[in-house]
């Protein structure tokens, strides 16, 4: 019985760690996306830092990536860039890969 309990605790700990890592990778991805979008909008360094935080915050509005995409699309459109939703989705995938690479190299 002890082996089963130990195994169950180990699985729970692994699940918790995997969830925490996924959260950290998503936050890093969103910061990278914010930095890219800020560059497209030609924001200053201070504005870029604030914008990266705003993009991370936007991800807490609802589950999934739609809230982040909606924020970026709205802001990029308001800044009169030629960035489309498809461009944002492609950049999101690119930044997800980069965020995971950075996270793994840091660990």
Closest CA to 30 of 97, 96, 104, 102: 96
The predicted structure's pLDDT at residue 101: 96
Total domains in the chain come to 1
The predicted structure's pLDDT at residue 58: 92
The predicted structure's pLDDT at residue 105: 93
The full DSSP string for 31-90 is HHHHHHHHHHTT--HHHHHHHHHHHHHHTTSSSSSHHHHHHHHHHHHHTT----HHHHHH
Residue 73 lies in a domain: yes
| Residue 64 in this model has a pLDDT that exceeds 80 | yes
Structural domain span for residue 56: 26-106
pLDDT in tens, 80-107: 999 999 999 999 999 999 999 999 998 6
Residue 58 lies in a domain: yes
Residue 53 lies in a domain: yes
Residue 2 lies in a domain: no
The predicted structure's pLDDT at residue 71: 96
CATH number at residue 62: 1.10.790.20
Q: What is the mean pLDDT of residues 6-34?
A: 89
Residue 7 lies in a domain: no
């Amino acid at each position: 019985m002890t082996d089963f309990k130990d195994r169950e605790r180990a699985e729970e700990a692994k699940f918790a760690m995997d969830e925490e890592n996924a959260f950290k990778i998503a936050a890093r991805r969103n910061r990278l996306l914010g930095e890219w979008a800020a560059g497209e909008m030609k924001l200053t360094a201070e504005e870029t830092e604030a914008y990266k935080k705003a993009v991370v915050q936007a991800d807490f509005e609802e589950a999934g990536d739609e809230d982040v995409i909606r924020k970026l699309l709205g802001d990029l459109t308001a800044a009169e860039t030629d960035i489309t939703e498809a461009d944002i989705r492609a950049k999101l995938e690119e930044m997800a890969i980069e965020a995971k690479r950075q996270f793994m190299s840091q660990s």
